[in-house]
Amino acid sequence: MKLGSGKFKPGHYSSRSLKTLEKLFTGKSRSDDIPLALLRHTRYPQPSEVGAHVREEVERHLCVYLIRIVLVLTLINRELLALIHPDQNSTDGLEDEINEQRAQKADFIRDHPSYDRVFWVISQKNWIRKFCQKVVVPTRGDRIYGETYSPVVYPIFQLIILLAVIGGIVVEGIATPIYRRNFYRENGYIHGSWFHFAESIFGSILFVEFMIKVIADGFIWTPNAYLRSIWNILDFAIMIGIVVNVTTELMLIGGLSRLTKSLKALRALRLITLIDRMRNTFESLIISGALRILDAAVLAILYMIPYAVWGLNIFAGKFRQCNDGDVNGLSECIGMYENAAVGDSFGYLVPRVWDQPSPSTTFSFDSFKASLLILFEIVSLEGWTDVMYAATAITGKDSQPQTNASQANAIFFLIYNLLGAVVILTVFVRYESSYFRLYGPDITHVVQYHHWQI
């Protein structure tokens, strides 16, 4: 194969891989449109003619005017398209509101230059901030006056963060508490073990990511501040937990407490914040669908309440039994009896106790609270057969239960579990699927609209 034949193009595969990574982390691919940053480099007076502050002010005015011109042209285009496609009016109206919010945001930043400075010191002209903006995407919308992220550097940087997160999870999976205990027994309590070294490296990478994002767009008060995103708040909490854990591990062998050690488990949540598809699914189903889940939970509780009342009236006081199976009721359940660990050998005396059954967990129907609690537990089909067997052994109040004495009581639990498992599971799945189907595709427009709020 000849290299000049045009069939071997390694650059083509590299570009396609970068676009794939970019779509993985941001959910969109870079188009071939001319970015607004290129339009801002309009001819302005040379440095010999005016000062730097005048150049900056001229550039800001030109950017605002260009945004206004683009907005007017967009509105004209939308009006013409509305005559041809009337069904697109609602979507176009939302985009017009987003553009208007963007123009207002540009006016506000132009009138208050310190608002777009990191810690009121680092401006958009700083070369360190420009470099950081090339590495990460903005938190809220696009950067009006800053640099756009690089389609080459950003995917590579995100891939490094992803590998660091996966590496940290793998280290924690290998260096379990049992492994660390055996390691310290064999090598002594020493600093610089391989898992401490690996945790420090991976934690440092996440801290560097945090600093780059803060320098690029600010921490709290800037337009695209770090903490103005719910995902960055989650990342910040995870990063703080990792830094605290790594610091205490380096200062004190074994860590400070179990609380600081448990913070390691949070790093797995970074996989949600890194990948765009997982973020959208989590936001649509968990965050935005929280009220729907609450509705389904209330409906499930309302389903259990009638059964709790029926169970209270049917089984109240009838589940109690004596630990000595040879007695006939409460009146004989007194004193001591001989129990044996193996057959009739090694007998020992045990006091007789009249109490609730506890094959897997202690339960009863003596109160509405206890009745609702056990029904809530067995609706998941966990241990429901133990409760049913105890109900079928009922012989009466203050009487010792006998196996299969009241088999008709099993109907209560069969109906409850068959209908409960089907109804409650179906309600949850139905609510979530209907919400995602109705609002999942449109929720991105709502998020984009709120991103332009000043």
Per-residue pLDDT of the chain (454 residues; tens, 9 = 90+): 444 444 444 444 466 777 776 666 666 655 544 444 444 444 444 544 445 555 666 666 666 666 667 666 666 666 655 555 555 555 555 666 666 676 777 777 777 777 778 888 888 788 898 899 889 888 777 777 778 888 888 889 989 999 999 998 898 888 888 888 888 888 877 777 888 888 889 889 989 999 999 998 888 888 888 888 888 888 898 888 888 887 877 776 655 566 667 777 777 888 888 887 887 777 776 766 677 777 777 888 888 899 999 999 999 888 888 888 888 888 888 888 888 767 667 778 888 888 888 887 788 898 899 999 999 888 878 888 889 998 998 988 888 888 888 899 999 998 888 887 777 767 666 666 665 565 554 444 444 434 433 3
- Spatial distance between the Cα atoms of 259 and 241, rounded to a whole number of angstroms: 10
- Spatial distance between the Cα atoms of 418 and 424, rounded to a whole number of angstroms: 10
Whole-angstrom CA distances from 60 to 53, 130, 145 are 11, 16, 8
Percentage helix, strand, coil for the chain under 3-state DSSP, each rounded to 5: 65, 5, 30
SS (H, E, C) 338-370: EEEEECCEEEEEEECCEECCCCCCCCCCCCHHH
Per-residue model confidence (pLDDT) at position 212? 92
Say whether pTM exceeds 0.85: no
Cβ of 388: how many Cβ atoms within 10 Å? 20
User: What's the first-to-final CA gap in the chain, in angstroms?
Assistant: 58
HSE-up of 353 (CA within 13 Å, CB side)? Answer: 8
Beta bridge partners of 354: 322
Please answer whether residues 227 and 233 qualify as being in contact, where contact means their C-beta atoms are separated by less than 8 angstroms. yes
Q: Enumerate residues 6+ apart whose C-beta is below 8 A from 341.
A: 348
Q: Of 217, 216, 204, 210, which is closest to residue 235 (Cα–Cα)? A: 210
Please answer whether residues 223 and 109 qualify as being in contact, where contact means their C-beta atoms are separated by less than 8 angstroms. yes
Q: Enumerate residues 6+ apart whose C-beta is below 8 A from 328.
A: 399, 400
Per-residue model confidence (pLDDT) at position 453? 39
Classify 192 in phi/psi space as left (phi over 0), alpha (psi -120 to 50) or beta: left
Secondary structure (3-state) at 51 = coil
Please answer whether residues 424 and 379 qualify as being in contact, where contact means their C-beta atoms are separated by less than 8 angstroms. yes
Per-residue model confidence (pLDDT) at position 411? 92
- Spatial distance between the Cα atoms of 132 and 222, rounded to a whole number of angstroms: 15
The two three-digit tokens of residue 352, written as one number: 């007789």
Rounded to 5 degrees, φ, ψ at 336 are -120, 160
- Spatial distance between the Cα atoms of 234 and 298, rounded to a whole number of angstroms: 28
- Spatial distance between the Cα atoms of 259 and 58, rounded to a whole number of angstroms: 54
Whole-angstrom CA distances from 204 to 200, 242, 243, 262 are 6, 9, 8, 19
Classify 321 in phi/psi space as left (phi over 0), alpha (psi -120 to 50) or beta: beta
Beta bridge partners of 329: 399
User: In one letter, which amino acid is 150?
Assistant: S
Q: Enumerate residues 6+ apart whose C-beta is below 8 A from 184.
A: 253, 254
Classify 367 in phi/psi space as left (phi over 0), alpha (psi -120 to 50) or beta: beta
Question: Structurally, what CATH architecture does the domain formed by 292-320+356-439 represent?
Answer: Orthogonal Bundle (1.10)
**How many residues are given for the chain?**
454
